[in-house]
């Protein structure tokens, strides 16, 4: 049985961003709803351009709810935004994560 991912109630996924939407633009768009803890618009390293999504973490859950209600479907730089609760980051190491990878320790025991 797979463990259900917990939703981080203060962190919002913001999709549909224009390339020119950087950290300061996202911050300015969401600051009217409350104090912001963090803004992360991922960068395409090869092109040195921002991807079409980002994450905004507000300090208070109520502020995140207000921001999501007001910004989902809003327009920024001519693009319609999709704003939802962000899912927690997955553990690196494949779909099942590092814990599902075979352990070297157990491999050595089996050889003995």
Q: CB burial class (10 A; 0-12, 13-18, 19+) of residue 78? A: exposed
pLDDT, residue 51, reads 84
Mean pLDDT of 77-102: 70
Tokens at 73, concatenated:
């479907």
pLDDT, residue 46, reads 81
Split at pLDDT 50, 70, 90, the class of 89 is: low
Asked if residue 69 has pLDDT above 80, the reply is: yes
Asked if residue 81 has pLDDT above 70, the reply is: yes
Asked if residue 88 has pLDDT above 80, the reply is: no
Q: Note the pLDDT tens digit of each residue in 5-56.
A: 555 689 999 999 998 888 999 999 999 999 999 999 887 778 777 789 999 9
Place of tokens 């409350």: 34
pTM of the full predicted structure?
A: 0.71
Q: Alpha helices of the chain — where are they, by DSSP H?
A: 23-30, 61-71, 104-111
């Amino acid at each position: 049985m797979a463990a259900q991912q917990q939703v981080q109630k203060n962190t919002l996924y913001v999709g549909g961003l224009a390339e020119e939407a950087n950290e300061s633009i996202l911050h300015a768009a969401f600051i009217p709803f409350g104090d912001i803890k963090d803004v992360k618009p991922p960068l395409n390293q090869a092109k040195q351009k921002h991807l079409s999504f980002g994450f905004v973490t507000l300090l208070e859950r109520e502020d995140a709810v207000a921001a999501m209600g007001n910004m989902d479907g809003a327009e920024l730089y001519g693009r319609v935004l999709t704003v939802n609760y962000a899912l927690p980051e997955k553990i690196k190491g494949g779909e099942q994560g590092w814990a599902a990878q075979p352990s070297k320790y157990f491999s050595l025991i089996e050889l003995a």
